[in-house]
Amino acid sequence: MSSLLARHELQGRRLVFTGDLVNRGPDSRGVLEQLSSLKDAGLEIHLLLGNHELLLLDYLRTGNFVRFAVNGGISTIRSYVGSAYGDVHRQFVDCFPDGHRLLIEGAKPFFESDEILVTHAGISLARPASRDVKDVVLGSHPELFLADFDIGKLLVCGHYVQRAGAPFVRANFVCLDTGCGTNGGPLSAYLLPEKIFVSA
């Protein structure tokens, strides 16, 4: 993430992150630490909830290890605890900074203006006005890639890994997940109003 954020094209901009900041790669702790630093520096950043942030909050609250582990949680635990033993959940809770928890708890399900809607999982075309977490964070909407649609503004999401390592682009829809932390792809950003991509 550091190399993308350091690009001159991103300097001085409002930054909107599409979620799944954890459980994607070996250093979830470093990712959250960097985002905390950006916020502390007074930059305008908007963190959106992804399904993996909700999984992390659930694990912190309930200790449901299996559900968290099968969804990439082991690497997140390691980034905080190192080699865990015994009561892994207790060690993780003890090592997880309050600032990181507050950062995730403060994430929103969507960012919207007159020109753009950004969510983690897109929207349901059957319920395009819905901004419910079950639709915009936890939902799965493959139909977004199959048909042209127009919700009156640009829709941007993550969540759906583009195996080619390049964003999916249509006139009214962009999917930015280019596989960073999952299949070795780059981390990508979409610059507005220029409508250009930068990746690192």
pLDDT one digit per residue (tens) for the chain, 200 residues: 778 888 888 888 899 999 999 999 899 999 999 999 988 888 889 999 999 999 999 999 999 999 999 999 999 999 999 987 889 999 999 999 999 999 999 999 999 999 999 999 999 999 999 999 999 999 999 999 998 899 999 999 999 999 988 999 998 999 999 999 887 888 999 999 999 999 88
Per residue in 1-17, is it b (16+ CB within 10 Å) or e — as a string?
A: beebbeeeeeeeeeebb
- Beta-carbon-side half-sphere exposure of residue 85 (alpha carbons within 13 Å): 1
**Which residues touch 15 (CB under 8 Å, ≥6 apart)?**
5, 38, 43, 44, 45, 46
Cα-to-chain-centroid distance, residue 101: 15
Q: Alpha helices of 106-190 — where are they, by DSSP H?
A: 133-136
Read out DSSP for 2-39?
A: HHHHTSGGGTT--EEE-S--SSSSS-HHHHHHHHHHHH
Write down the pLDDT at residue 182.
81
| Amino acid symbol at 135 | D
Closest to 177 (Cα-Cα) out of 150, 129, 149, 145: 145
pLDDT digits (tens, 9 = 90+) for 61-102: 999 999 999 999 999 999 999 987 889 999 999 999 999 999
Write down the pLDDT at residue 7.
83
Cα-to-chain-centroid distance, residue 189: 12
The CATH topology of domain 2-199 is Purple Acid Phosphatase; chain A, domain 2 (3.60.21)
pTM for the model: 0.93
**Rounded Cα–Cα distance for residues 151 and 94 (Å):** 44
Q: Is 116 helix (H, G, I), strand (E, B) or coil?
A: strand
**Rounded Cα–Cα distance for residues 199 and 189 (Å):** 6
Identify whether the C-beta of residue 18 lies closer than 8 Å to the C-beta of residue 159: yes
Give 76: exposed, middle or buried? Use CB within 10 Å, 0-12, 13-18, 19+.
buried
